[in-house]
Amino acid sequence: MKPFDENLLKALGKKFTTSQTTIAVAESVTSGALQLALSSIPNASNFFQGGITAYNLGQKYKHLHVEPIHASRVNCVSAQVAEQMAIYASQLFQSDWSIGITGYASPVPESGNKLFAHYAIAFKGKIKSSGKIIPKSDTPEDIQFEYADFVLRKLKGPGINN
């Protein structure tokens, strides 16, 4: 079974190839799912610069330069953190496009046992799309793939252009 819509991935590959742009990813809650999706597109090495999975405050601060006081207050899960992750990922990997995503795929007390994620999509250092995702799936793994699929569809969607 393939966890991602192959037509969606092909469309993204065409988008990057046609526009001669590149993409990088900074993810937390999706634990590499976005990197898996992007790297599985044919000829991904022509546009996928790479990604990083940073799961805690220390690593998000060290590698993605998230603002530590705010991140500490929100357990590293907020729109601001996702935006900072996206913007620094583009610098880290020297990409045109970048994605940042952070959130919860399983209930924890810090989130009030609620499941949600914040994502941001940037182009050339400017946020083009951001938002909060509320999952419909039940299991943590399904939720992670749901979050990744949601963001990839946003990336492909209308209004997200260079």
Q: Give residue-wise pLDDT tens across range 22-56.
A: 999 999 999 999 999 999 999 999 999 999 999 99
Encoded tokens for 51: 């990604």
CA 78 → CA 1, 18, 29, 60, 130, distances in Å? 32, 33, 12, 13, 11
Question: 16: alpha, beta or left, given left = phi > 0 and alpha = psi -120 to 50?
Answer: alpha
- What the chain holds in terms of domains, given with CATH numbers, is 6-156 (3.90.950.20)
Average pLDDT, the chain: 95
Is residue 2 pLDDT above 80, yes or no? no
pTM: 0.95
Is residue 91 pLDDT above 70, yes or no? yes
CA distance 28 to 157: 23
Q: How confident is the model at residue 159 (pLDDT cuts 50, 70, 90)?
A: low
The pLDDT value recorded for residue 3 is 81
The pLDDT value recorded for residue 50 is 98
3-state secondary structure of 127: strand
Q: How confident is the model at residue 158 (pLDDT cuts 50, 70, 90)?
A: low
Percent helix / strand / coil, the chain, rounded to 5: 45, 20, 35
Instruction: Work out the average pLDDT over 63-73.
Output: 97
